[in-house]
Every structure is written in C-alpha cells, then in structure tokens.
Amino acid sequence: MMANPELIVRPVVVSDADQFLALWDALDTETENMLFAPGERQATLEQQVEQLSKSVESAYSAVFVLENVLNTEIAGFIGCRQNTRIRDRHCAYLVLGIKQKYTGQGWGGKLLFEAENWAISRGLHRLELSVMANNEFAIKLYERFGFNIEGTKQDAVKLSSGYCDEHVMGKIL
C-alpha cells in the first residue's frame, strides 16, 4: 500500500504532549500489542510535558513521531533509549507504536529508519526491542529491517485471551 502523503516523520517536541497522551490512549485500546492495558497509564498533561522535555533534552534518548500534518494528529512514534552504563552503552532499546488506521503503509519502516540513523550518528553498535510473539505483523517488519529473535520469554504477558510469549529481538549495526 502507498504511504499517505499527509504524514511526516519528525522529532518529537514538547508541544506534542497532548497529542502524545491521545496516542497512548489509542495504542492501549486498539490492540493488546502494547504492554499497558486500557486506562492503565495515568499520566497527566503536566507529567507528559515533563517526560517529553526530558527526552528532548537527553543526550541518551530520542523520540520520533509520525504526524498527520492535515490535523496535527500524532499517529505513531518510535522511542530510542541508549543505555548509559559503560558495559552496555553501545546499545539502545526501541519502542514502536502506530495507530491501527496508519499501519500497513510503510510508516513503521520509516520510523525504524529514523531510529537507526539516530543510533548510527551516536556510534551505537546494537539495537534491541521486545515484541509479543503473537504480533506476526510487527515481527515481520522487524525481521525485514535486520532484527533477529534472540530469545523468547515464556508467558511474559497476560492478555485477555491468556498468556503470551514475548520475543527479544536485536540488530547489530
């Protein structure tokens, strides 16, 4: 499917806080593929502003958003957090989420591309993430971008349908 031309990928800014809260709510309610259950996140707008401010100012993290420029809706994001300990500071952990109506259009790949470029610009060597084993769509995306399943945590997540395994995936840059 062709990507929607009204969407752009850009670094997050603090003024995205209200839209970011709406994104979290959508991601947590549309599927069970994110770790939080609906209503479990209790962040206020002030807390979200503070969290985004820390991310924007941090030398060890980056957040890129997928924005619908027609209505300024934040449709997805990728968060990148570099480890800070000496022995694993060459690694960064990624979290990716996209609203369901924007999936299957190539935007996950564009967000991953931004995260990888950020990591390379920082001289990082490894990217890692986790994904529920039943999320075949996301697993295929990560594999297309060179991530490999490195291990499986059995019954790591409890969904409404029962327990679900979680894959740990990594990529050497």
Structure tokens at 50: 């503070």
Which residues on neighbouring strands pair with residue 172, listed in sequence order? Answer: 126
Map out the domains of the chain with their CATH numbers: 7-131 (3.40.630.30)
Structure tokens at 36: 């939080």
Return the pLDDT at 36: 76
Give the global pTM. Answer: 0.91
Could you give the CA distance from residue 40 to residue 112 in angstroms, rounded to a whole number?
26
Contact (Cβ atoms closer than 8 angstroms) between residue 112 and residue 145? yes
User: pLDDT digit string (tens) for 112-162?
Assistant: 999 999 999 999 999 999 999 999 999 999 999 999 999 999 999 999 889
Average pLDDT, the chain: 91
Residue type, 21: L
Return the pLDDT at 43: 80
Strand ranges for 12-117 from DSSP E: 61-68, 73-82, 91-98
Return the pLDDT at 1: 45
Task: Taking residues 7-30, report their average pLDDT.
Answer: 90
